[in-house]
Amino acid sequence: MASRLETLKTRLENYYKAEDSILNGAQEYKIGSRDFRRADLNEISQMIQYLEKEIATEESKSQGKGRNRVFGVIPRDF
């Protein structure tokens, strides 16, 4: 089973390919009598930004730079 980081990187690569297809004019195409339309470029761009952010978060977690912090507390009696 692939790790979350590997899955995110695979999805990001697929979104890059989809973005490239749209930029090269393949957003709408026709096969026989059927018309096909890919997702909008704006939606794909937003998902790419989201995935890049998630990958950066996962990589920082794996390097011990995540959001979880340990701090000490000294209890006091009043």
Q: What was the pLDDT predicted at 53?
A: 95
Domain count, the chain: 1
**Does the residue 70 lie in any domain?**
no
Q: What was the pLDDT predicted at 67?
A: 63
Please give the model's pTM, rounded to 2 decimal places: 0.67
**Does the residue 33 lie in any domain?**
yes
Residue pLDDT, tens place only, 31-78: 888 887 777 889 999 999 999 999 998 888 877 766 666 778 888 887
**Does the residue 48 lie in any domain?**
yes
39 vs 4: which has the higher pLDDT = 4
Mean pLDDT of 22-37: 81
Q: List the domain range (segments joined by +) for residue 49.
A: 4-62
Contact 23, 77 (CB under 8 A): no
What size, in residues, is the chain? 78
> CA torsion angle for 57, 54, 12, 27 (degrees, to 10)?
-150
Mean pLDDT of 2-25: 91
Contact 46, 15 (CB under 8 A): no
